[in-house]
A and B are shown apart, each in its own frame.
Chain A
Amino acid sequence: MRSFGRAIHAEFTKVTTTRLWWILAIVMVAYVALVAGGLTAILGVVGTGSGGGARAPQISDAQRAPLIYSFGSSIGYVFPVLLGALVTTGEFRHKTLTPTFLATPKRGRILVAKLVALFVFGALFGVFAMVGSVGAGSGIMAVFGQDAQLGSSGIWALVARAILAMALWCAVGVGLGALIPSQVAAIVIVLAFTQFVEPILRFASGLTDWSASIGKFLPGSASDALVGSSFYTLSAPSLVALDWWQGALVLAAYAVVAAVLGYFTSWRRDVT
């Protein structure tokens, strides 16, 4: 058990001693804040009628804050996935698996330690992302005199669930990195899947009832179900969704299945 704690400590130090994590964190916060703040501003302008609000989407005051704040995870989740995947594939790329396995010859222990350490880092990314979306969103809402709902316990529950989602996404990245050790391939797959393939699949699966029952298990759908609000649920309110805890379990299952497959395909292999 003590050796396990040491492995987690070492995996944590590996992340903090390179520049990757804070570069990703800064880009994520800027991106999330820009989208959350920008969209609040657009909705505000349209809503007050100064932009000719006839065709404005109907967003109630109650819907606005959860929608805007959830951007932290619904668009920011790609950053913890990238962090987890880059940290894991980096071990293959820079051949640091050699000193790692020499210091801790029990390889399964290292993979679990990595999942745990990066889960914590993902939560930290979740906090940063929420600072970005809640900070920018509530600030702009205040400008338009709208209710930012910062006193609502429902909002803070959403923030906590979003942080959990980001933590799970980071663990998914670790599993993915173990499964696809090539760093370039892992980046391409993460970006193509999250930005292109999954949105299309989610849209297409929503067209019929039977496909929607499968589509709700897509990682992005599970994540949105966990957080409880997103622009998807707003644009297609009839979409079937999981309960929030089911969403968390589905996301965790993606991380575990990928890591177990990665363990048997790449992690256990000869290090030459």
Chain B
Amino acid sequence: MAEGVTIEFTNVTKRFGSVEAVSDLSFSVEPGQITGFLGPNGAGKTTSLRMLLGLVTPTSGSATFGGTTYRNLSSPLGTVGAALEAASFHPGRTAADHLRVYAQAAGLPRSRVGIVLEQVGLESYGNRRVGGYSLGMRQRLGLAYALLGDPGVLVLDEPINGLDPEGIRWIRLFLRQLAAEGRTVLVSSHLLSEVQQSVDEVVIIAHGKLVHRGTLASLDMVESKQVIVDSPNREGLGWALQAAGYAFRSLRGGVIVDNADATEIGRIAFAAGIPLSSLSQKHAGLEDSFLALVGEEGAL
């Protein structure tokens, strides 16, 4: 296996005519962990990945693997494995032949074909024409292509799309294993929920711009303006909150106060002599933070 290297985007911009698909994007992706590359559809994820892989030429800036652009890598498939879309196959060619063509082009031993087919669980379907493959099988074949050169870096565009629950579970474990081996794993998705169980780090873009970069937990730290409070004397608490001018809802688990700060609510209850059984600032949750970051269109 080749060593995992750092992926580095430096001020990458891409304009298609008058549309700026990616604007001044800079971030790095470290080896040994899974990084989620997130954003709503049309945010510029695929364009960014295609620029990283030398398929699309950036208008300005550069994206590199350990300092080298993809087109200048001495052994591209041995350094980076990429799975970009589920339909990059000739339907009349068998999966094994498909892989054999690119193994030959990259100067890899023919034995790699059987090895990667087995790694993705397609060993008994290798001699079938890809035209008859299901979307899930195509995703696996795309992954097999990415693994062909046993690379230290994996770049996967929406690899979970089209997989059944069993396939999703399989790919999560598989990616986890690849990262544990020290590889750099970059996985894009438009759904946070799809990858939140697998990723360590997140890079979030919206409208071609970087909006958040950090650990998955850092997303959860974003606090909302809601307070959850409860008291054995709910009626008294209600009077006190109303007197202080707060809007609130009484639920079974407690009272939710909008646009409030936990310290302030505690002070109001104390001043009114209301005993509290619980008091906390409500966390926004990963999904809500994600949606807040990417904007309303994120709900697509």
Within 8 A of B (CB), among A14-43: 14, 17-20
User: B50 contacts which chain A residues (CB < 8 A)?
Assistant: 270-272
The segment from B70-78, B226-234, B240-248, B264-272 that touches chain A is B70-78
**Total CB contacts across the A-B interface at under 8 A:** 86
Query: In this assembly, does A246 line the interface, its C-beta being within 8 Å of a C-beta of chain B?
Result: no
User: B125 contacts which chain A residues (CB < 8 A)?
Assistant: none
Contact A6–B104 (Cβ < 8 Å): yes
Contact B100–A98 (Cβ < 8 Å): no
Nearest Cβ distance between residue B72 and chain A, in whole angstroms?
8
Query: In this assembly, does A104 line the interface, its C-beta being within 8 Å of a C-beta of chain B?
Result: yes
Known contacts A3-B107, A94-B88, then 4 further A-B pairs from the complex at CB < 8 Å, ordered by chain A residue: A7-B105, A101-B55, A102-B53, A271-B55
Query: In this assembly, does A105 line the interface, its C-beta being within 8 Å of a C-beta of chain B?
Result: yes
User: A20 contacts which chain B residues (CB < 8 A)?
Assistant: 92
**Number of B interface residues, CB 8 Å?**
34
Contact B76–A103 (Cβ < 8 Å): yes
Interface residues of chain B, those whose CB is within 8 Å of chain A, are 46-47, 50, 53-57, 70-71, 73, 76-77, 82, 84-85, 87-94, 97-98, 100-102, 104-107, 145
Contact A18–B85 (Cβ < 8 Å): no
Contact B85–A103 (Cβ < 8 Å): no
Contact B101–A106 (Cβ < 8 Å): no
Interface residues of chain A, those whose CB is within 8 Å of chain B, are 2-3, 6-7, 9-10, 13-14, 17-20, 90, 94-96, 98-106, 270-272
User: A90 contacts which chain B residues (CB < 8 A)?
Assistant: 90
Nearest Cβ distance between residue A93 and chain B, in whole angstroms?
9
Residue of B nearest to A18 (CB): B92
- In the bound assembly, the distance between CA atoms of A240 and B27 in angstroms comes to 66
List 26 A-B pairs, Cβ < 8 Å. A6-B107, A9-B104, A10-B102, A14-B90, A17-B97, A17-B98, A19-B92, A90-B90, A94-B90, A95-B85, A95-B87, A95-B88, A98-B88, A99-B145, A101-B55, A102-B53, A102-B55, A102-B82, A103-B77, A104-B76, A105-B70, A106-B71, A271-B55, A272-B46, A272-B47, A272-B56
Contact B77–A102 (Cβ < 8 Å): yes
Residue of A nearest to B75 (CB): A3
Nearest Cβ distance between residue B116 and chain A, in whole angstroms?
13
Residue of A nearest to B142 (CB): A99
- In the bound assembly, the distance between CA atoms of A136 and B125 in angstroms comes to 43
Nearest Cβ distance between residue B263 and chain A, in whole angstroms?
52
Contact A102–B107 (Cβ < 8 Å): no
Nearest Cβ distance between residue B193 and chain A, in whole angstroms?
27
Contact B105–A104 (Cβ < 8 Å): yes
A96 in contact with B105 given A17-B100, A102-B82 (CB within 8 Å): no
- In the bound assembly, the distance between CA atoms of A179 and B91 in angstroms comes to 23
Contact B47–A6 (Cβ < 8 Å): no
Contact B77–A17 (Cβ < 8 Å): no
- In the bound assembly, the distance between CA atoms of A18 and B52 in angstroms comes to 31
Contact B102–A99 (Cβ < 8 Å): yes
- In the bound assembly, the distance between CA atoms of A94 and B89 in angstroms comes to 6
Contact A105–B92 (Cβ < 8 Å): no
Residue picked from B70, B104, B105, most chain A C-beta under 10 Å: B105
**Which of A6, A14, A19, A105 contacts B76 (CB under 8 A)?**
A105
Nearest Cβ distance between residue B92 and chain A, in whole angstroms?
5
A6 in contact with B105 given A13-B100, A17-B93, A17-B94 (CB within 8 Å): yes
